[in-house]
Structure formats: C-alpha cells, structure tokens
Structure 1
Amino acid sequence: MSLKTTIVASFAESLNAADIPCVLWGHCLLNVHGVPSIVGSIDFVIPDGCLQTAVNALSSNERLTQCERGELCPISSPEGFTPPPAFHMHLDASDLAVGLYLQSEMIWFLPSLDTALSSPQQDELPAYFVLASDETVLPPYRLGMGSGALPQGGHLVLVPTSVVLLEAYLRLWARDWRKRQGGMGIAMIAYMQEYVEKEGFLDGDQLPEPLRTFYRELKEGEKPVRQWSEELSMALGVSDEGDEEEDCA
C-alpha cells in the first residue's frame, strides 16, 4: 500500500469515525478510475450540514495545518478553473491539500449522503457508489494510467461509479460553463471518454436521459461546443439556487 493510498484511507477513516459519510473526489478520484491526473489535493464530498464537524475531525490530525494564504492559495483562489472546496488544510505544511466539498455543490443530484455510509460495506452500498478497492468494476494499476483500484485491506473508501462520475461532470459543465471556475469541466468529460470509456470501464449508454443523448452528441462533434453547452443547460433546467443544508446526524 503506497503512502498516498494510506493517506487517502486515513483521512476517510477520520471523517467516518466522526459519523460523517464521505465520498472521494477530485484528482484522486480520477486516478482511481484510471485517469493519469496529477494529484495536488485529496478531496472528499460530505453532507452540507457536516462541514464544521468534518473540520474539527481533520483539525485533530497533527499532519494537517491551517491555510493562512486565503484567496492567494491556489486551492481556494477565485481565479482558478475549478470550484474551490468549502474548506481545506495543507499536509505537512506543503502544497498538497486535503479539501472538503459540499454535496449540494458537486453531487446534488444523488440522494443525501446517509450516516450509514460512514461505515461502508460493499453489499449494502447504493448502486451509484462502489468501494475504491473494488477490483471487479475499477481498473487495476497500469503504468501511466493512474492508481486504479486502491489496495485491499485498508479503511474502506467510497467512490462514485464511473457513469455517475461522468453524469456529475456533465451536470457541473451545464451549470458552470459560462464561469471561469467551470473551465475544467469539459476536460474532465474528455478524460472520462479517453481513459475510462475507451478502456472498457465506462458505458455512456447507462447515462439517464437527456444526458445520454447529449453525451453522444458531444462525441460525434457535429455541434459547436457553445451551442451544445447552451442546449444542455436548457435541457437540464439549470438553476443557480442551491439546496438547503441538512443537519449532521
């Protein structure tokens, strides 16, 4: 088990020990799905109402330090090309960060993360999640193709299935493509197509409509991206209004 894998599992374990369900996110998640992405942070999605509890859980880790740079930090800069996390800390005072994202911002279209998911068991997971160590659906390690499935034996870490991750990127692009911070969305969709679908670990036909049709159109490339993006946003009825926070059980 690599040091990075150990760190990912240890932070998930800290959150779960505080009864906070968490789902791996960001570039670590891409690595698990076989995308050779550079990892600059270890990110998790948590329930909105659990943010302060999660901050307290991470703050007890001696290897994590508070960020003192504010918006000057690349992780939280409003000038970045990805939405910043709701909270982050730095590992061993380095540039490597641990970030927390709210479900209402990233995977709002899924049912609320249940407290039971803080003790994930493979045979009890909802269909849209798998364990990061599940080698039956995630790719193995391949040189130059991300980490693949995490090794067995560590703390259990939740990840979205590949089709749910693709759905998330499509919905995020529909929401944010007009904004600077939405700039990476189309690249993430391309990564999923190039490294996950072409390798046989994603079936785009499993997307719900209208996303399935729009994904096919994007791959066919017959429409200008701007036109395709506008039509996608309209089809999804995108709104800027967020969901209300729920209390952390």
Structure 2
Amino acid sequence: MSSIPNRSQLFVASLARGLNTAQVPCVLWGHCLLGLHGVPSIVASIDFVIPDDCLEAGARALAQCDGLVPCPDPSSCPATSKGRHTQPPIFHAHLDDNLEVTAGLYLQSDTLWFLPPLDHSVLFPSSSLDLPPYFALASDPTVFPPWRPGRGAGVFKSAADAVVAPRSHILLEAYMRIHARDQGKRVGSFGIAMIAYMQLYVDADGFLDADLLPEPLKTSYKELQEDKKPMRQWMLELKAALGVAEEDPQSDDGY
C-alpha cells in the first residue's frame, strides 16, 4: 500500500465502511488483498467482492464515498479494457487525485462462487471470531503477516473500521478454481501466475496452511509443488478433478 494518505489502509477501510453502511456485504479482493497476504504488487487498485444482488446498491454506495470520482470515459478506461490480463471489475470509480488508481467491485459469482453467499455476517464484525471461518479481519495479526521488506503491506495497522478478507488458503483455492475455469483465456493465465505468487510469498514464508484446502485441490497443489508433471498435464487433471469441461485452448473471451 502506498504511503499517500488516500491510498492508505484507512482509506481502504473507509470504502468498506461505506459499503457496509449501505448494507452491502463486502470482502477485500485484488491487489490490495495480495498486499495484505504479503505479496508485493505495484498495482494500486482497491477492490471488493460483493453479492451479485447487491450490485446496484454497491455501485451507488461506492460512488458516494469521499475521495472517489466517476470514471471519465468507461469506453476507453484501462480498468475495463478487454486487453487487460485480469478480469475487469463490474463497476469502478477513480481516486479524485489520481485517475490511474481505481476502486472496483467484483461479483461473488465471478470470484468466490465456491463459498456460501455473502450475507450480513460480514457486516461490521468486531473480531475474526464473528466471521465465517474462511474470512478474517484484515487487522488480525494472528492471521495476516506483518510488513516485511520485499513483501506486501501486510496486516492492517488499525481495527477502527472492519475490513474483511479471505484467508490465505481460500485465496489460493480461488486462484486454482479460476485457473481451471478460465484456462485458455487471459484471466486463466493470471490465475496460474497468482498461484505461483502464493507459493513464493505466502506459503514459503509460512503463512499458508495447504492442508486446509479441500480435495481435490489439496492433492493437486501438492503435486504442483513437487513439480513432477508437465504443467499442461497438471492443469488438465485439475480441470477433470473439478469437473470443468475442456475448452478450445485458443478461445479467449477478452479478459
């Protein structure tokens, strides 16, 4: 996270508060979430996952948050470009003093569809114990790593406003499922890159318990770590284990 005030953890928390006040459950996503887990990133976007049926309310709430302005030209904005290598947000706004930085919303059906629907259990929790077991407060030092040189920002320093985030094994599961679902598309390639980052910066540093992954993902991840199979074979076996149909590897939906 940048040291610029309106890109601080307090600013991220203010966006979460705006969504929660509008009764929109939200959990941290994207590069800000990677930084929380200790993964370095030069991308300064601030993203949240929300329930599909809260899109209208979420977009309205985010647009009203202090420090954000509407996108000046959605048709040409890099945040929604079909050439980007990550899935674009379903809605986004820009920081009022830096249009290159965005705050965006993603739908749960596109990101964390394998979890139970987001509900009011993630609104204004006072501790991680109040949350479903696959989430934690971004300010919980027992879950997220501290800041370290060469790593991401790490755990949020203030718990004044609750920011909810997926635990590390859930984030890894999301990337594995996204890679299997979107293999042959740009976002699928992004998924495997993020799996590698989770291995290098989170698992290798002791902040990921791969035993918490459900099968067949736990076995698949172990096989990936052992590096005994060609990548394409590993990927095809993962898709088969998850029941994901094989598609034309040349296809690309523009993500």
Structures share fold, TM-score greater than 0.5: yes
Deviation at 1:183, TM superposition (A): 2.0
CA–CA distance in 2 between the matches of 1:193 and 1:61? 35
- Among candidates 135, 142, 161, match of residue 141 of structure 2: 135
For residues 153-190 of structure 1, the C-alpha deviation after alignment (integer angstroms, 9 at most, x for no partner) is: 42110000111111111001001121123221111101
Structure 2 segments unaligned to the other structure (5+ residues): 247-255
- Among candidates 187, 209, 216, match of residue 215 of structure 2: 209
Deviation at 1:121, TM superposition (A): 2.8
The SS at the match of 2:106 is: strand
TM-score of the aligned structures, taking structure 1 as reference length: 0.92
Q: What one-letter code is carried by the residue in structure 2 that aligns with 1:14? A: G
- Among candidates 141, 149, 163, match of residue 155 of structure 2: 149
CA contact (8 A) 2:10 2:158 kept: no
RMSD, aligned α-carbons: 1.7
CA–CA distance in 2 between the matches of 1:5 and 1:105? 25
Pairing 1:109–2:114 present: yes
Higher RCO (C-alpha under 8 Å, 6+ residues apart) = 1
Deviation at 1:239, TM superposition (A): 6.5
Q: What one-letter code is carried by the residue in structure 1 that aligns with 2:176? A: L
37-46 or 100-109: which moved more?
A: 37-46
2:252 corresponding residue in structure 1: none
2:100 corresponding residue in structure 1: 95
Residues matched between the structures, number: 240
For residues 123-181 of structure 1, the C-alpha deviation after alignment (integer angstroms, 9 at most, x for no partner) is: 21111000000001211111221111001342110000111111111001001121123
TM-score of the aligned structures, taking structure 2 as reference length: 0.89
CA contact (8 A) 1:71 1:78 kept: no
Q: What one-letter code is carried by the residue in structure 2 that aligns with 1:91? A: L
Structure 1 segments unaligned to the other structure (5+ residues): 241-249
Deviation at 1:230, TM superposition (A): 1.5
The SS at the match of 1:24 is: strand
Pairing 1:76–2:80 present: yes
Q: Identity, % of aligned pairs?
A: 55
CA–CA distance in 1 between the matches of 2:139 and 2:43? 18
